Amino acid sequence: MKRWKNGIDEMIENKAIDDFLDDIVAICVKHNLTISHEDHGGAFVVEKFNSNNIKWIKDAFDNT
């Protein structure tokens, strides 16, 4: 999938990131948990499975 590439400021595809995020999603499904973000302190939060969190994970920017 195309995602924002920091540094060149355009949308590109990066299979390595797609594969990495797919693995994270598989772990979320396996454990019925997801990762979200707490905006005030910048920490990650683990929550019960939530499909909106999966969308947030999959929309990650490419900062590699």
Tens digit of each residue's pLDDT, the chain (64 residues): 999 999 998 999 999 999 999 999 999 999 999 999 877 777 889 999 999 999 999 999 999 9
Instruction: Say if CB 59 and CB 17 are below 8 A apart.
Output: no
Task: Give the residue from 38, 36, 56, 58 showing the smallest Cα distance to 47.
Answer: 36
| pTM, entire model | 0.86
What are the sequence ranges of the domains in the chain? 2-58
- Alpha helix locations (H) across 1-64? 15-31, 51-58
Tell me the C-alpha distance between 55 and 8, whole Å. Answer: 23
Q: In this structure, how many other beta carbons lie within 10 angstroms of the beta carbon of residue 19?
A: 9
Bridge partners (DSSP) listed for residue 34: 47
